[in-house]
Amino acid sequence: MKTIEHRSTHTFDEALEAIKIAIGKAGLAIFAEIDHADAARENGLSMPETRVLIYGSPKVGTPVMTDAPLTALDLPLRLLIRELPGDRAAIAYHPLAEMFEALGVKGPDAARFDSAQRTIAEAGCISSCR
């Protein structure tokens, strides 16, 4: 599966906050936030700050899953925000359009998922994404 990752010149906390704001402004909901670093700490391990946000809209996702049930394996959408050395962040996601088209989702409908993910990921870069 392909992964797209943006490197931000902003801190992990700044990127995470900007992404949460962008999700809300897009009219989407955050269903879960998985804090891998916290889970590691609870088990005596350490890792850089690493979160997965699970987000979306039932009004958008439900019709897609109804028409193409296997898309439910990848919905709601997921975005990874991780801390890099030098107090910077990376934002990553799996583009879904190609896979969704193979599952029967019409091209323009499938492309909207990638567009939404790209827009939200780029918000985590604030003004500088690489």
User: Higher pLDDT residue, 88 or 127?
Assistant: 88
Assess whether pLDDT exceeds 70 at residue 100. Answer: yes
Tokens encoding 108: 């323009």
- Look at residue 127 and tell me whether its pLDDT is greater than 60: no
Residue 9: per-residue pLDDT: 87
| pLDDT above 90: percentage of residues in the chain | 91
- pLDDT for res 125: 84
Q: How far apart are CA 24 and CA 30, in angstroms?
A: 8
Per the model's pLDDT, the better-predicted residue between 80 and 10 turns out to be 80
Q: Is 128 a residue whose pLDDT tops 80?
A: no
Rounded to whole angstroms, how far apart are CA atoms 10 and 19? 12
**pLDDT for 55 beyond 80:** yes
Task: Tell me: pLDDT of 4 over 70.
Answer: yes
What domains can you pick out in the chain, each with its CATH number? 4-123 (3.30.310.70)
- Determine the pLDDT at residue 1: 80
Question: Residues 16, 51: contact at Cβ < 8 Å?
Answer: yes
